[in-house]
Amino acid sequence: MGLAPRCLLLGAPGRYPFNGHLRLAVQCGSAHLHLAAAVNTRRDPPAALEAAAVLRAKLAGIDGRDRFGLLRSAWELLAELDCDLLGPDRGEDLALLMVAWDGQGLGVAGTGLEVLYELGDLTTPLLDGAHPLLCIRGVPSTAPGVFTPHRPPLVVVGAAASGALDPSTKPSWELACGLHPGGAS
């Protein structure tokens, strides 16, 4: 695979579209995982940032030998996370999108997502409707399945359930996801 696949989460409508957002990249040998998430988004920015930092620190421990191992590790870490540390909402508003890949292919998993797009393509979503990957926000009680796109996209964009910006209202998809020129990925 050439350029590294990654994922982004669309911001929410309103004054603080990226409240509680975080991104993380993990590499274990030849296996990689990239994630984008939003948590504690209904609280004020300091509380949301604190919850995002807790989640980020926990998920920084993701480990695995291949893409399935990385995704499984992420769910296991989430399951053992003390949700009280995520603030009074206890992670009930969590939206999480993960893309994991290795020499054999790419897998997409997540929670609290409504639609998945390939960056720049609003008309033909990668995933919408009743796919089991798409579910309400929150820490799932059991590990969700893995979606394997027929044609691996370079950048998967997630729209969180009940509240995501319409990317066509912004100058670019990247800005709708809080990604700026010169900024990190």
Question: Which residues of the shown chain bind other proteins in the complex (CB under 8 A)?
Answer: 11, 15-23, 44-46, 48-50, 52, 177-180, 182-185
Nearer to other proteins among residue 152 and residue 178 (C-beta): 178
CB of 51 to other proteins, least distance (A): 11
Backbone angles phi, psi at 79, to 5 degrees: -65, -30
Closest approach of other proteins to the CB of residue 124, in Å: 25
Nearer to other proteins, 132 or 183 (CB): 183
| 180: three-class secondary structure by DSSP | coil
CB of residue 105 to other proteins, shortest distance in Å: 27
If we measure between CA atoms, which residue out of 115, 128, 155 comes closest to residue 8?
155
What SS3 class is residue 183?
coil
In 3D, which of 109, 30, 108, 25 has the Cα closest to residue 65? Answer: 30
Smaller CB distance to other proteins: residue 22 or 70? 22
